[in-house]
Chains A and B, each alone.
Chain A
Amino acid sequence: MTAVIDYGVGNLFSLKSSFAYIGEEVVVTNDKDVIMSADRIVLPGVGAFGDAAKKLFESGMADVLKEAAAKGKPILGICLGMQLLFEKSYEYGEHQGLGFIKGSVKPIADRVDTSVYKIPQIGWNALRFTKPSPLFKYINEGDHVYFVHSYYGDDCEESLLATTEYGFDVTAAVSSGTVYGTQFHPEKSGDVGMKILKAFCEMK
């Protein structure tokens, strides 16, 4: 069973539907016991880093995730959920993250000519693998996935799994131990996305 953490951020309908579609039992919850009894955990997120981090820490979900990570439970952070895995973010100020992934989250606008590269990056972009990962066992380099973001994970070479080209090599996926993160939305990336979720659901 996969637990999708519900901490009051964003719409989880598509995420829940996508797991159901690939035949995975999924529960959307903020119940600690349910989360700890799950085989794996998904940390979703849309919106601003500061608000989401605050909700994560105040709801106690940050501690639950830390406990789960320490026990080696597979965790997948998606989009803002991936960014929350980092040590900190510079989105409107400076905010503390969960610290599972070494590095920080910074504005794309600081790295590109915004008259050429529009912010946010919205759309389908190709993956370039930097390290083999079980998360990619069913997909190929060059496959396209769907991105929507204005910030990116930086200084995370140790954890980097894949990048995508948007004026520079933008962090697309990371991992550290059993903690994984994708900047893109697998639940919105068609067949390729479903294959990534399937690979995640085979992790125990």
Chain B
Amino acid sequence: MITKRIIPCLDVRDGRVVKGVNFLGIKDVSSPVELAKFYSDSGADELVFYDITASAEGRALFTDILVEAARTVFIPLTVGGGINTVDDFDRVLKCGADKVSVNSGAIRNPDLISAAAQRYGDQCVVLSVDAKRVDGSFHVFAKGGREDTGIDAIEWIKRGQQSGAGEIVLNSIDTDGVKNGFDLEMLGAVCDIAEVPVIASGGAGCIDHFTELFKALPKVDAGLAASIFHFGEVEIKQLKKELDKNGINVRI
């Protein structure tokens, strides 16, 4: 039976891992390669490297880090941030990424999903969606959660998977950084229409939140988090042990 995945996300700026609360107040955490190795040894099933650099120098630094990480850890690596063209896919895949996640780039140019899926396969394209409740529905937000696009998140995800997205990361802005648990309502709505794996993001504050997630929503394939892992509030080995104890199938 396929296992539920635990995925730490490393936001990288100028060669360092950072994490903000509700995307504001960014705080330095640690060295990306060291942290990647630590997580891999702790039983992380996959890693996400998110490039939040805007400058060309920062971007070059990011790809250097990616190369080093791919030489050091041998679990799947997903890269996101600043992916706007098929050339951007090419750039990070050559540096050792296995999957590439698109967010704002796909909002600006929805054809990016199909173009990349045709070239690299569906399994390579991850559609990452930042969504927030607006007037009783879920809206897609762009630019790191700052701009309401007015697009309905459920429709956007349907369209994304039709275009060839092989996985969906749903990050609820409403619960992100709050540490009160995943957004089960929003995730449930996405699971109802999802034909590809769904990765839950935003809101995990303790081990029980992951147990609750996988128990409440069996269609969720993976849980993603950042700061709770970086700050040692949740230890991955312990998390997986607890999930296993609760009858959730994980790789130990």
Interface residues as binary, B34-58 with A (CB distance below 8 Å gives 1, 0 otherwise): 0000001000010000000000000
B71 touches A21 (CB 8 A): yes
Give CA–CA (A65, B169) in the complex, Å. 40
CB distance from A10 to the nearest CB of B (A): 8
Residues of chain A lying within 8 A (CB to CB) of residue B123: 46, 120, 122, 148-150
CB contact between B98 and one of A14, A114, A165, A194 (< 8 Å): that residue: A14
The answer to whether A114 and B1 touch across the interface, beta carbons within 8 angstroms, is: no
| Residue pair B95, A120 in contact (C-beta under 8 Å) | no
Distance of A144 Cα from B96 Cα, bound (Å): 22
Give chain B residues whose Cβ lies under 8 Å from the Cβ of A17. 70-71, 74, 96
- Asked if A190 and B195 make an inter-chain contact with CB atoms under 8 angstroms apart, the answer reads no
Which of A17, A21, A123, A189 is the most central at the interface, judged by chain B CB atoms within 10 Å of its CB? Answer: A123
Which A residues lie within 8 Å of B93 (CB)? 11
Q: B-facing mask of A17-37, CB < 8 A → 1, else 0?
A: 110110000000000000000
How does the 8 Å CB contact mask read for A178-192 relative to B, with 1 for contact and 0 for none?
000000000111100
The answer for the CA separation of A121 and B70 in the assembled complex, in Å, is 23
Contact of A188 among B2, B75, B120, B166 (CB under 8 A): B75
Contact residues of B: prevailing secondary structure: loop
Given A118-B197, A120-B122: A13 touches B94 (CB 8 Å cut-off): yes
Q: A11-B94, A21-B71, A124-B251 are in contact. Are A146 and B2 (CB under 8 A)?
A: no
Q: Does A193 contact B (CB under 8 A)?
A: yes
Please give the number of chain A residues whose Cβ is less than 8 angstroms from any Cβ of chain B in the complex.
Answer: 34
Name the interface size band of chain B.
20 to 34
Q: Is B74 in contact with A193, judged by CB distance below 8 angstroms?
A: yes
The A interface is mostly helix, strand or loop, or mixed, namely: mixed
Looking at A18, A150, A190, which has the most chain B CB atoms within 10 Å of its CB? A190
Near A by CB (< 8 A), chain B positions 60-105 give 67, 70-71, 74-76, 93-96, 98
Instruction: List, sorted by A's number, 21 A–B pairs whose CB atoms are closer than 8 Å.
Output: A13-B70, A14-B96, A18-B74, A46-B123, A46-B124, A47-B121, A48-B121, A114-B195, A118-B195, A119-B196, A120-B166, A122-B123, A122-B221, A123-B197, A124-B2, A124-B5, A124-B251, A126-B1, A149-B123, A188-B74, A190-B40
Q: Does residue B3 face the partner (Cβ distance < 8 Å to A)? A: yes
A126 cross-chain contacts in B, Cβ below 8 A: 1, 3
Asked if B167 is an interface residue, CB under 8 A from chain A, the answer is: yes
Complex-state Cα separation, A100 to B221, whole angstroms: 35
Encode A96-133 as 1/0 by CB contact (under 8 A) with B: 00000000000000000010001111111110000000
